[in-house]
Chain A
Amino acid sequence: MTSQVILSTSGATKRFGGVTAVNNVDFSINRGEVVGILGPNGAGKSSFFNLLAGAIQPDSGTITFLDEDVTSAQSHDMCAKGLARTFQIVRPLKGLTVLENVMVGAFAKTRSVREAKEIATSAIELVGLAGWESVVSSNLTLGYRKRLEVARALATKPEILLLDEVMSGLNPAELDSFIEMLRSVNKDGVTLIVVEHIVSAVVQISTRIVVIVQGSTIANGTPSEVVNNKLVIDAYLGELDYEVS
């Protein structure tokens, strides 16, 4: 797998009033990686996520995506360029079936109904929802709605997918299969950034973890490095018993 930086920030800073939510953050992610972003609540990881997604723009610093300066780009621009994101509170298009939901995503990149259907069908398969195509999405449980959200984002054919606390609210069994699903998505060629609360899940799935506390990166390394990092333990994790496989 060629190491190639596809998304990076340099000195990204964002202030809200008197609070510096994101403080001079340098970040980069290579194609094919799964990077987890951890941090306590209010630490700035959501703001950082939204900067990457184009939902908000930095006060200073630059953001580069696929060698293009996207510092001032907005979310629908980013979608067109190949960056997709999910939302923390899932929003299925309730009256539409699973297939119809995902096809709407596919239409971001194509005009043809047949092509949209193909793209949607393979995205649905990839997230493990095969067989549920004609179910109206309001009839899905939360776990399946989250998969739908991922499928819809995948249908826009992104290079990189940003997942915003996508695993919260899942029970342990759902969590395991969800992580498996994300693994296959990544294997299929989609780079992932996973912002999460659930440390164990992030540790399982990520190839690299970045920890953000009070707007700054305090750690950046493999899961086992991060979990054993004294700064991280002091600031965030406390006594740890995490086994990294």
Chain B
Amino acid sequence: MNNSNNSTKDIGNTFSTAKKQVLIWGTAVGIVLILAFISSKQSYFIGHMIIMTLIWAALASAWNIVGGIAGQLSLGHMGFFGIGAYTSTILYTKSGISPWLGLLVGIILGGLIGLLIGIPTFRLEGSYYSLATLALGLSLYQLSYKFSGVTGGATGIPIPFEASLKNMTFSALWQYAILAGGYLIIVLAICAYISATKLGFQLAAVREDAQAAQAIGVNSMRAKLIAGTISGGLAAGVGTIYAQYILFIEPHSALGVNIAIQAVVLSVVGGIGYVYGPTLGALVLIPISQIILKNFGGSAPSLHILIYGAVVILVALLAPKGFLGIIRQISSRISKRSKAEKND
């Protein structure tokens, strides 16, 4: 009939039947457990790679809520990430508060900031949101140097290693894999829920044609603000997990622009707006970048950035729905062909 009959909206029939639901989430949990197992048996490098993949997948998925599903290109998600990392770390190192509580506080703070930055910008054309979020992120980066009394400035804050569940600190890599993987599953569940319910439809409408959406009764400002809040909050949570894994944070690794750009790249390459798109992007790009960093980190420290840039240009121009979009197109062609064959 036609070349592309794939909706840009990810309905994710995850919620069509309870059985299917159980199957998919059971699989997800199973995958995380397998990854955890692998990271326990393999070298440190593989384990580290798995954990970083899960962490960056979670951040990109959180970004995707506002950047893909709502269609608002945030360039400031390093800000939310850093808020989460610094909040839980400061509460933990200065007041002994459990990082789990710090995680919650960070999420609330991140959500609040996500909401606030949207209020002046969402009613304007999209580029303003990108610029404003970039300004937000860069501001937080510079403020972290300025208020070094609290944030440790350039020297950063080391986190004491006292392994226990209460401290969200673990001695084995596989435990971190479960932590990061579990968080990723939660983020994905939220994305799927949004996508399959009223908010997802309204955001898709706003993304496609904001004025037409308004005419059909969609309050686009409200929808975008909800998305921005959830996205900011969930992104902050990833920061806490990162901090508790690396056990050291400082402005560049917690608030650097590259963090935000990576979230964008992973989502675009994997499939922007699709629930599992950013995760796919992370699965493809993070191992590659980790391997490059390991082998060329000294001599060519930004080689992986070069690859990010080149891949994102190619995907944005040639395959705008990302790898997941390509996979879906192929699979729908295959199913059409087999349907046609059955009818012959």
Contacts and interface: CB of A to CB of B under 8 A. Distances in A.
B224 to A, nearest CB: 15
Interface in B268-314: none
Interface in B259-275: none
What interface size band does chain B fall in?
A: 20 to 34
Contact of A156 (B196, B197, B211, B216): B216
A75 B213 CA distance: 12
Interface of A: 75-76, 79-80, 85, 87, 91-97, 100, 103-105, 107-109, 111, 113, 116, 134-136, 139, 152-153, 156
Contact of B217 (A93, A96, A156): A156
Nearest to B2: A139
A111 to B, nearest CB: 6
Interface in B210-267: 211-219
9 contacts: A91-B209, A93-B212, A95-B8, A96-B205, A96-B208, A104-B218, A113-B196, A116-B201, A135-B5
B7 A104 contact: no
B8 A79 contact: no
Nearest to B216: A105
A18 B229 CA distance: 47
A91 B218 CA distance: 14
A83 to B, nearest CB: 11
B60 to A, nearest CB: 21
B61 to A, nearest CB: 20
Contacts of B214: 76
A113 B197 contact: yes
Contacts of A108: 216-218
B4 interface: yes
Contacts of B207: 95
Nearest to A155: B216
A16 B9 CA distance: 41
B204 interface: yes
A104 B215 contact: no
